[in-house]
Amino acid sequence: MPDHSFTSPSSNTYSESTFRDVIIIGAGASGLMCAATAGYQGKQVLVLDHAPKAAAKIRISGGGKCNFTNMDISSENYICQNPHFVKSALSRYPSSAFIELVERHGLAYEQRELGKLFCSERASDLIQILRTECDWAGVEVQTRCAIQQLSYEDGLYRLTTSQGVFQCAKLVVASGALSFAKLKATGLGYDIARQFGLNVIETRPGLVPLSFAGRWQKRFGELSGLALDVSVTAGGRSFNEAILFTHTGLSGPGILQASNYWQAGEPIVINLLPKKDVFAELLALKKQGASLSKWLQRYLPKRMVQQWLEWYPLNDQPQPDMANISDDSLRHYGEQLMNWTLYPSDTAGYDKAEVTLGGVDTDEVSQKSFEAKKQPGLYFIGEVLDVTGHLGGYNFQWAWASGVACGLAL
Ligand code: FDA
């Protein structure tokens, strides 16, 4: 068999290699879950990670409380070129299974809006649960281990690392994606996929703030820190969640959700008054001759209303006489409030993105076992795959479910 190498071999002083049934690259959410599952199946499992500590993303996620799953999960909550791919693993390991696991360990948790479950105390409690499961299952975890070379010969994978040479029959790539390089995120998983001839779908930042240039950046900067409950639409998907003005543009859950569907050069559309019959209310204002500004302040913060009326004066009047505005103008103004169309200049990039869209093409792996179809013994799980969840615990649930499905198949 040919020797596949993704880097040139460094001088290796180790003459002997250590064999394990299964080696998992990445001690993150999916890797630890997979490791414990395979360990309980009686497999000798070694997890290798170059970071100083396991599961750095769990530790900081959800503002330190980790939104670890959601009560309402379906394939609709995921973006993947094959929309059916996630169904098998998610149905075999639903959120109720993960909740059962954390309850067994006595984790205190709480349900917040839109079915999101968070740790009540610290996200590190969840890491402890995963580490305990790995200990009970006899899994070894080796951190500060840099992978230098990978080769495949005679049915065995050989990894040359900063901690020695390791061999295994089954190699699981759980090394995550490109978001948050400061937490040791790398594209190693994509390199390994390409090394073995697997297709990788182009990546881009997801669940990420959107940046604006020129006058809109200045305008949003002036409102920085202000949040609004609105509906945001991008690429045909709408989300009724809050947005936040920042110095560089827009953020907040509604924007992060929409960013997954936004493409460069396309607009986002914000409905500032969702669930309101805006035109009917404007007609009523006209009848009463009431103040547009006061009406807007019933639904939006005063700072926003002041700015809005400067940006979009009705009939060019900052304080229009409502009684004299035509119905057509009112309809047009209502449309403006409900379809505020904005053109972001860019996203805030991988450094600020919670996830990475794209990744290893799911057509290349089995949806049951996660083994590569054209490379026996090589598996890909978690975020390295072309599977991205919405905001709300969906990405961790994918990590748990793909980790368990793969672990059972090893
Ligand atoms: P993960 O990234 O967890 O693990 C990959 C592991 O591989 C890491 O330990 C890394 O060090 C290691 N690795 C990478 N390159 C390597 C290399 N070259 N050599 C050796 N090891 C390597 N999701 C959610 O559902 N709810 C939430 O609340 C949040 N919150 C959140 C906040 C922030 C700031 C971020 C950045 C992300 C989230 N997420 C989230 C997303 C969630 O963290 C993510 O989807 C999962 O951690 C993905 O799990 P994986 O196991 O695939 O990768």
Residue pair 285/295 in contact (Cβ under 8 Å)? The answer is: yes
CA 159/CA 17 separation, integer angstroms: 9
Look at ligand 1, atom 30, and give the residue with the nearest C-alpha. Answer: 61
Look at ligand 1, atom 38, and give the residue with the nearest C-alpha. Answer: 354
pLDDT tens per residue, range 5-22: 444 334 343 447 899 999
Q: Determine the 3-state secondary structure of 349 from DSSP.
A: coil
State the average pLDDT over residues 152-176: 97
Output the CA 204–ligand 1 centroid distance in Å.
15
Output the CA 410–ligand 1 centroid distance in Å.
22
Asked whether the CA dihedral 343, 349, 353, 359 is positive or negative, the reply is: positive
At which residue do the structure tokens 């953020």 appear?
251
* ipTM of this complex: 0.99
Using the atom order of ligand 1, give the atom closest to the CA of residue 55: 9
CA 376/CA 370 separation, integer angstroms: 11
**Going from the N-terminus, what domains does the chain have, and what CATH number goes with each?**
3-204+355-409 (3.50.50.60), 209-348 (2.40.30.10)
3-class secondary structure per residue, 5-47: CCCCCCCCCCCCEEEEEEEEECCCHHHHHHHHHHHHCCCCEEE
CA 212/CA 54 separation, integer angstroms: 36
Output the CA 29–ligand 1 centroid distance in Å.
7
Q: What percent of the chain has pLDDT over 70?
A: 96
Using the atom order of ligand 1, give the atom closest to the CA of residue 396: 25
DSSP labels, 47-58: EE-SSSSS-HHH
Residue pair 231/271 in contact (Cβ under 8 Å)? The answer is: yes
Ligand 1 pocket (Cβ < 6 Å) reads: 25-31, 49-51, 56-57, 60-62, 66-67, 147, 174-176, 179-180, 184-186, 188, 354-355, 382-384, 393-396, 399
Report the range of poorest mean pLDDT among 59-63, 103-107, 183-187, 286-290.
286-290
Using the atom order of ligand 1, give the atom closest to the CA of residue 62: 28
Look at ligand 1, atom 43, and give the residue with the nearest C-alpha. Answer: 57
Question: Which of 111, 395, 402 to mutate to test ligand 1, by most ligand atoms within 8 A of the CB atom?
Answer: 395
- Residues 7/33/206/362 CA torsion (nearest 10 deg): 70
What pLDDT does 12 receive?
A: 41
Look at ligand 1, atom 13, and give the residue with the nearest C-alpha. Answer: 175
What pLDDT does 381 receive?
A: 99
CA 87/CA 362 separation, integer angstroms: 12
What pLDDT does 3 receive?
A: 40
Single-letter code of the amino acid located at 43: K
pLDDT tens per residue, range 319-343: 888 988 999 999 999 999 999 999 9
Using the atom order of ligand 1, give the atom closest to the CA of residue 395: 25
- Asked if the model's pLDDT at residue 261 lies above 60, the reply is yes
Using the atom order of ligand 1, give the atom closest to the CA of residue 57: 43
State the average pLDDT over residues 76-101: 98
At which residue do the structure tokens 């281990």 appear?
145
Beta strands in 275-392 (DSSP E): 340-342, 346-347, 355-360, 378-380, 388-389
